[in-house]
């Protein structure tokens, strides 16, 4: 199972992808619980139960400590 996710602006489903490294930048902001971030046709919502990201067609992914879902 991949540990990273990808969704395109017009995609009909999110996908799991494999990766060789993770880019971390301490200057990037943290998406606090109960907050929403929107940019370039994507929306991400952070809740105590996990994070859900989706495009305008409502396709994307959800991640949490105990599960991963692509839709």
The C-alpha atoms of residue 67 and residue 60 are separated, in whole angstroms, by: 14
16 pLDDT band (50/70/90 cuts)?
low
Q: Within 13 Å and on the Cβ side, how many CA atoms surround 68?
A: 10
Taking residues 26-31, report their average pLDDT.
Answer: 85
Q: How far apart are CA 49 and CA 28, in angstroms?
A: 22
Give the total number of structural domains in the chain: 1
- Full residue range of the structural domain in which residue 32 is found: 4-70
Confidence of residue 17 (pLDDT cuts 50, 70, 90): low
Mean pLDDT in residue range 12-40: 78
For 18-59, list the strands marked E by DSSP: 35-39, 42-47, 50-55
Q: Are 53 and 42 in contact (CB under 8 A)?
A: yes
The answer to pTM > 0.85 is no
Average confidence (pLDDT) over 32-53: 94
């Amino acid at each position: 199972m991949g540990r990273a996710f990808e969704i395109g602006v017009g995609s009909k489903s999110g996908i799991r992808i494999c990766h060789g490294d993770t880019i971390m930048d301490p200057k990037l902001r943290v998406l606090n619980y109960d907050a929403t971030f929107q940019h370039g046709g994507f929306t991400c919502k952070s809740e105590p139960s996990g994070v859900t990201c989706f495009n305008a067609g409502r396709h994307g992914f959800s991640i949490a400590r105990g599960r991963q879902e692509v839709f």
